[in-house]
């Protein structure tokens, strides 16, 4: 997967959104070189360096950035993550856009890491969803990967997820799966189920993955045991638990034997990581102003 396919355009759009025809406040800043440091004000998994770098590459390629942390590192409060040097006005103009990317993607990676750690399983994997910030789908999918999670389908074009409304329109799970196989051979098919009866039908219809939507822990365990006991198929479908998954439930979900746990919380219930930029003019520039 090319997580960076839309990166230049993402950054271009963000800079246009913030700067528009020009940064009015930057006109107050005297010409000259300055330095700045980016400091994390809370613990986090750092993520978003490529987007941060691209902001300044598009704004002013002469700006130098020295990273002191690697992408995916777990950092503690008051960690200096990078240093910048360049034209003072350019640093200040790019500050908010660059930090917006860094704090958003770090927030996603940090939340993902917390869920993965709570699952504490070698066999149950955390999946994301399509519940991402508009325009930042690939960026947030990248952040989930950086935080230790796995990506579900990217969009409506790379896999089939047959949900309740699709089932109703197709007049049943079996009919929906059969039509999907005929129309899109070779594409992965997942079916959302809400009851054990629907699970059994999805299994016999030949779905590759079966989503257990809002199943209780007891029902998930029952579903896992039932599928494992079947001999009708040479390769059993994967099982995905989904629906209002909370962090506190993850330790128990990780013990059910389900293959995947998916949640939109890691991308849509976003708490951005708090970073700040500490700006410093060289002594010679300060003297010239006095």
Q: Which residues are catalytic?
A: 96, 131, 163, 192, 213
d(C-alpha 92, C-alpha 10), whole Å: 20
Q: How far is CA 113 from the centre of its chain?
A: 11
Contact 199, 210 (CB under 8 A): yes
**Tokens, residue 182:** 């005929």
H-helix segments, 21-152? 49-59, 88-119, 137-146
CA angle 29, 32, 37 (to 5 degrees): 80
Q: How many residues does the chain have?
A: 290
d(C-alpha 245, C-alpha 202), whole Å: 22
Instruction: For 127, list phi and psi in degrees, rounded to 5.
Output: -115, 150
Q: In which element (H, E) is residue 150 found?
A: none
What count of other Cβ atoms lies within 10 Å of the Cβ of residue 62?
11
């Amino acid at each position: 997967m090319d997580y960076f396919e839309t990166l230049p355009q993402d950054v271009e759009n963000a800079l246009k959104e913030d700067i528009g025809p020009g940064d009015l406040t930057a006109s107050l800043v005297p010409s000259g070189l300055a330095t700045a440091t980016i400091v994390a004000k809370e613990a986090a998994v750092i993520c978003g360096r490529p987007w941060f770098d691209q902001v300044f590459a598009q704004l002013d390629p002469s700006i130098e950035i020295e990273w002191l942390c690697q992408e995916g590192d777990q950092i503690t409060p008051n960690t200096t993550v990078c240093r910048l040097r360049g034209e003072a006005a350019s640093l200040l103009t790019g500050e908010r856009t660059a930090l917006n990317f860094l704090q958003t993607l770090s927030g996603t990676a940090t939340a993902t890491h917390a869920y993965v750690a709570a699952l504490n399983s070698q066999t149950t994997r955390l999946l994301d969803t399509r519940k991402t910030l508009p325009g930042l789908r690939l960026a947030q999918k990248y952040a989930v990967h950086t935080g230790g999670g796995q990506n579900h389908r990217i969009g409506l074009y790379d896999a089939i997820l047959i949900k309740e409304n699709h089932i109703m329109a197709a007049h049943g799970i079996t009919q929906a799966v059969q039509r999907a196989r005929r129309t899109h051979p070779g594409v992965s098919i997942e079916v959302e189920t809400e009851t054990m009866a629907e699970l059994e039908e999805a299994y016999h219809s030949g779905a590759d993955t079966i989503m257990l939507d809002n199943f209780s822990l007891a029902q998930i365990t029952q579903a896992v045991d039932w599928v494992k006991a079947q001999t009708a198929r040479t390769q059993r479908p994967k099982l995905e638990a989904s629906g209002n998954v909370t962090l506190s439930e993850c330790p128990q979900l990780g013990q059910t034997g389900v293959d995947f746990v998916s949640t939109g919380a890691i991308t849509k219930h976003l708490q951005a990581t708090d970073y700040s930029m500490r700006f410093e003019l060289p002594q010679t520039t300060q003297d010239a102003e006095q």
